[in-house]
Amino acid sequence: MSPNEQILPYPLAYETALEPPTEWAELRSKCPVATVTVPDGSQAKLLTRYDDVKEMLADPRFTRPDLMGGSGDSQGASATSAAANTSASPFSVPKHGEDHLRWRRMVGKWFTAKRMAALRPQMAAIADQLLDEMTGRGSSGDLKAHLAFPLPVYVICDMLGVPAEDRNLFSYWSDNFLNLTRYSAQERQAAVGEFAAYMSGHIAAKRAEPADDLLSALIEESSGEGEALTDAELLGTGMGLLVAGHETTANMIGKMVAMLLADRTRWERLLENPSLVRSTVEEALRFDVNGGFGLRRHLTEDVEIGGEVLPQGTTVVCAMAAGNRDETAFENAAEMDLARTPNPHLAFGAGPHSCLGQALARTELQVTLEVLLRRLPSLELDIPAADLERLEGLLVGGLREVPVRW
């Protein structure tokens, strides 16, 4: 860094919700390893080029900074990971090497593409039911509140075999785990306790009387293989599903629909050719400028990246969304091309720590889009795209509302 180089405040500012921050292009071309100040006042290095972001994320030597308040922790991380962060949390995941690999493979069995494909009919039924309720209220409404927010929680409840009448409890707990401004620390502790108590009883019931759900299947298969999953592991995985799988997917559904309707020729192209749904979902993930804070890495040794040697102890912020707009990695990166193939975007990270639940997220996004195209072909934004408001969240990026009419 030259002595007169500017230190940027991070996260960067957005002029409108669906346009990238103006700094991205300049940083990628002139300052690929930028110095930024994160919300807790500490400094970090921001990577914005596709190749640099991918290389850093895939480097098995480095993981995220310690969430329990270790060096380089940012306000952003402690905010959205609040549930996984309290001492009462039943959920703790090994971050490194062999232990991480073993944990990941144990939990990975929940999320195989085949298991997710088997959930498609249930996901479609949930989307249909939510759209029945939304369209029953009139001819316009907030797609985020009526569809995007409840859908992923209901899907998680189905995976766990939780009955429909208890879905709202899960919505409440999930919101409580993640929303630091609405609930106090005591309320959060209480919610973690209620969730753990509910799940303990629920797991006992499933052990006694297995049903046709993923939780029962995993209990049976794992004991059949002589590697029975413990209650704590099942509880932790259920908690992880909510913390990692609700708000992220809810926001992505809202952003995907908003991007497709912001230029309605995109929506019309999909109506004409629904076989583009799969590539459209990938392109929405790539094109999304509200990917959130980015993933952080704590350097435990010196490393050369982007032509610069970063010393041990540095905190690096990988801006995946900026990398996804890198012209050197994607032709016409500023265009949303619904047929773009292949699309090796970084929305789920890269390497050994890339998102464990990505097959679940992809399947939910695909099914939601298929159902919307079938049910509401006349869908359009109810406000100008430039008036969409961003959620000023810290780690998870999204839109406050997605007002639509049909």
Partner 1 sequence: MKITVDEEKCCGAGQCVLIAPEVFDQRDEDGIVIVLEPEPPQDQHALTREAAVVCPAAAIQVHDTP
> With binding defined as CB under 8 A, does residue 226 bind partner 1?
no
* Residue 399, beta-bridge partner list: 390
Beta carbon of residue 336, minimum distance to partner 1 (angstroms, whole number): 18
CA trace torsion 75, 23, 299, 350 (10° rounding): 100
Q: How far apart are CA 191 and CA 176, in angstroms?
A: 7
> With binding defined as CB under 8 A, does residue 244 bind partner 1?
no
Which one of 116, 162, 257, 338 is in contact with partner 1 (CB under 8 A)? 116
> With binding defined as CB under 8 A, does residue 170 bind partner 1?
no
Here the tokens at position 341 are: 């193939």
Between the CA of residue 5 and those of 40, 130, 133, 312, what are the distances in Å? 21, 51, 54, 21
Task: Look at the alpha carbons of 131, 134, 137, 141 in this order and tell me if their dihedral is positive or negative.
Answer: negative
Which one of 111, 149, 293, 406 is in contact with partner 1 (CB under 8 A)? 111
> With binding defined as CB under 8 A, does residue 348 bind partner 1?
yes
Which one of 9, 94, 97, 108 is in contact with partner 1 (CB under 8 A)? 108
Of 108 and 201, the one with the shorter C-beta distance to partner 1 is 108
Beta carbon of residue 219, minimum distance to partner 1 (angstroms, whole number): 14
- 3-state SS assignment for residue 157: helix
> With binding defined as CB under 8 A, does residue 276 bind partner 1?
no
Beta carbon of residue 22, minimum distance to partner 1 (angstroms, whole number): 29
Beta carbon of residue 231, minimum distance to partner 1 (angstroms, whole number): 20
Hey, how many other C-beta atoms are within 10 angstroms of the C-beta on 279? 16
> With binding defined as CB under 8 A, does residue 349 bind partner 1?
yes
Between the CA of residue 12 and those of 95, 164, 402, what are the distances in Å? 28, 41, 22
Map the footprint of partner 1 across residues 86-105, applying CB under 8 A: 104-105
Of 283 and 382, the one with the shorter C-beta distance to partner 1 is 283
CB 42 within 8 A of CB 311: no
Beta carbon of residue 277, minimum distance to partner 1 (angstroms, whole number): 12
Which one of 64, 109, 375, 405 is in contact with partner 1 (CB under 8 A)? 109
- Of the candidates 129, 122, 132, 192, the residue with the CA atom closest to the CA atom of residue 157: 122
Strand 398-399 to strand 390-391: parallel, antiparallel, or no bridges (unpaired)? antiparallel
List interacting residues with partner 1 (CB under 8 A). Answer: 58, 104-106, 108-109, 111-114, 116-117, 221, 225, 278, 282, 341-344, 348-356, 358-359, 362-363
